[in-house]
Amino acid sequence: MWIVRDRAMSGARPRCGGDRRMTDVEWRLRVAGAADADLVAAFRCASDDRTWQVQVERFVRSNLLDWASDPRAASDDPRALLLLVADELVGVAAHEKAVLTAAGGCRVSATKLQVAALAEPWQGKCFAAGDRASDVLMSAVLTDVRHRRPPRHSHVFAVVHEENHRSLALLARYGLTEDLSRPHPRYRRVITSARRPERDPARDPAREAPRR
């Protein structure tokens, strides 16, 4: 088990007012394991019946642990992370290595943010110190990406439903602002623009290489 306390939250916005503060207990982040099956199976992040929220919730509840421990995907370095306050599961985030292939065949190493979700009661909320739960989750997952050895490429991307405005706003706060080609008409693929590859995927629409 390990704890991240990275307060250098590049995308963090001003702190919340008192009415949105949830707890005085400190948060901690750790890697999910088989013993967390019951915890993740009870995770609820869908605040309504919108497809994309339900899909995220289903993925976390039913697939997250298998996704992270699939031996066939070990070379992708999949990481499933849990954000906790005491024994309460506040949020879930997961990432893995991925390769984007541009239309011209140029391959670009990247990290795919597989999921980032807060439990429904924590959405839009802050910790007692004033940090948004969403900022803590994003900052922690990006810190985890930065600390992987061998180092990951600095590009991080995510696939998000075009109407998932809260998720798109959160990702934009952390620099995932450039659009690549869509994997589906309703889903955007947004990527960081911090360091560009030799060929610009925004000009040369990319597609994600199949996982295997």
Ligand X SMILES: CC(C)(COP(=O)(O)OP(=O)(O)OC[C@H]1O[C@@H](n2cnc3c(N)ncnc32)[C@H](O)[C@@H]1OP(=O)(O)O)[C@@H](O)C(=O)NCCC(=O)NCCS
Residues that bind ligand X (CB under 6 A): 13, 45, 52-53, 56, 115-118, 123-124, 132-134, 160, 164-167, 169-170, 173
Nearer to ligand X, 26 or 162 (CB): 162
Q: How many C-beta atoms lie closer than 10 Å to residue 198's C-beta?
A: 7
Q: How far is the CB of 203 from ligand X (least distance, A)?
A: 26
C-beta of 38: minimal distance to ligand X in Å? Answer: 20
Closest listed residue to residue 142, CA positions, set 111, 108, 179? 111
Shortest Cβ 31–ligand X spacing (Å) = 18
58/107 with CB nearer ligand X: 58
Q: Which amino acid is at 164?
A: N
Shortest Cβ 181–ligand X spacing (Å): 19
Instruction: Give me the least distance between CB of 206 and ligand X, in Å please.
Output: 20
DSSP secondary structure code for residue 15 in this structure = P
Q: Residues 6 or more apart from 112 whose CB is under 8 A from it?
A: 95, 96, 97, 98, 156, 157, 158, 159, 208
What's the rounded Cα separation, in Å, for the pair 132 and 78? 25
Residue 103 vs 169, nearer CB to ligand X = 169
Do the Cβ atoms of 212 and 184 come closer than 8 Å?
A: no
Closest to ligand X by CB, 7 or 165:
165
Q: Considering beta carbons, is residue 122 or 197 the nearer one to ligand X?
A: 122
Q: Positive or negative, the Cα torsion across 120, 187, 41, 87?
A: negative
